[in-house]
Amino acid sequence: MSRPVTLFTGQWADLPFEEVCRLAKEMGFDGVEIACWGDHMDVRKAATDPAYVADRRRILAENDLICQALGAHLAGQCVGDLWDKRLDNFAPDAYKGKPEEIRAWAIEEMKFAARAAKAMGCSVVTGFMGSPIWKFWYSFPQTPESMIEEGYDEIVELWTPILDEFAACGVKFALEVHPTEIAFDFYTSQKLFREKFKDNKTLGINFDPSHLVWQGVEPHLFIREFGDLIYHVHIKDTLVNLHGTEGILGSFLTFGDVRRGWNFVSPGHGSVDFELIIRELNAINYQGPLSVEWEDSAMDRVFGAREACEMVKQIDFDPSSVAFDDALKK
């Protein structure tokens, strides 16, 4: 099928965009999913300044890279979250410590992201939506169902004008189903996409198996249920390590600590069955990028990303054009 293998630049935002593109090409990637932070993509400039877009495209062309998606995770988180001081890390300095100003900035930033994607010729923006009810995931103090419904309804209210802008631009928004989001597993996704947004085709999914497998959700079955809404795919892995003392909640141990019950690891080194995922992606005829989101605190990132790129190209097999037993039937 030759789906493009791309690199999400979010974990490389400490490097200039031009250097990341040079590295991506050297490591064998076909393209990049450009993160909208660091100096990689300023969505307001991209939405309003043709010269800025031309420069981004020049860098891509000089490195023989494509770009089919932008990643706007940080601003998106600020739209739907209940504020705490961690969100200040995602917002401009002028808005730090000001929850309403941060949210207003984030809503406009996401609208600019849609326009930036259109200007760049990208069909998808990946990202987060935030959640006003994530802190209620464990029902103590007791959480009435009405509070959960109100949280979903608040997300619909906040995001509908943003999605309207995406629709006007002909761009889709793909939520990365992820803990801390309004949809973080199978049933919360059913509620968000099917029930609350009523299969609004502008809103879909950035499928990332690494966030499902440690929760006990089978990633390939998630594809089977939500295949019509999968607009982008992250290749990312998690090693589940439960031997009696570890727990899936992480124990407030930092990523990479070997005492954790699970850790993000370089693709192919964890618990995700990527062959099953490729089979399910073939079944839904997914033809978009396979975007490596590289996170592994115990491995050199250039070594790991290069190896991941090679691994993805090896496992991305085409579906068969014939049934294996056709000859016997004749």
Residue 86: give its domain's CATH number: 3.20.20.150
CA angle 180–186–190, rounded 5-degree value:
95
**pLDDT above 90 for 298:** yes
* Boundaries of domain holding 89: 5-329
**pLDDT above 70 for 1:** no
**pLDDT above 90 for 79:** yes
Question: DSSP state, 267?
Answer: T
Q: What is the mean pLDDT of residues 11-37?
A: 98
Residue 317 pLDDT class (50, 70, 90 cuts): confident
What confidence score (pLDDT) does residue 329 get? 72
CB 124 within 8 A of CB 169: no
What confidence score (pLDDT) does residue 319 get? 85
Total number of domains in the chain: 1
Mean residue pLDDT across the chain: 96
Question: For the residues of 187-238, what is the DSSP string, one character each?
Answer: HHHIIIIIIISTT-TTEEEEE-THHHHTTT--HHHHHHHHGGGEEEEEE-EE
**pLDDT above 80 for 52:** yes
Stated length of the chain: 330
Q: What is the mean pLDDT of residues 231-247?
A: 96
Q: What is the mean pLDDT of residues 66-70?
A: 98
Contacts of 141 (CB under 8 A, 6+ apart): none
How many alpha carbons lie under 13 Å from residue 165 in its C-beta half-sphere?
18
Decide: pTM greater than 0.75: yes
What confidence score (pLDDT) does residue 211 get? 98
Q: Is 316 helix (H, G, I), strand (E, B) or coil?
A: coil
**pLDDT above 60 for 16:** yes
Q: Which pairing describes strands 5-8 and 31-35: parallel, antiparallel, or unpaired?
A: parallel
**pLDDT above 90 for 54:** yes
| 61 CB burial (10 A radius; 0-12, 13-18, 19+) | exposed
Going 91 to 114 to 125 to 194, the CA torsion angle's sign is: positive
Pull the structure tokens for residue 46: 């991209």
Give the DSSP H/E element, type plus range, for residue 146.
Answer: helix 145-169
What confidence score (pLDDT) does residue 179 get? 97
Q: What is the mean pLDDT of residues 97-102?
A: 98
Alpha helices in 245-319 (DSSP H): 274-283, 301-315
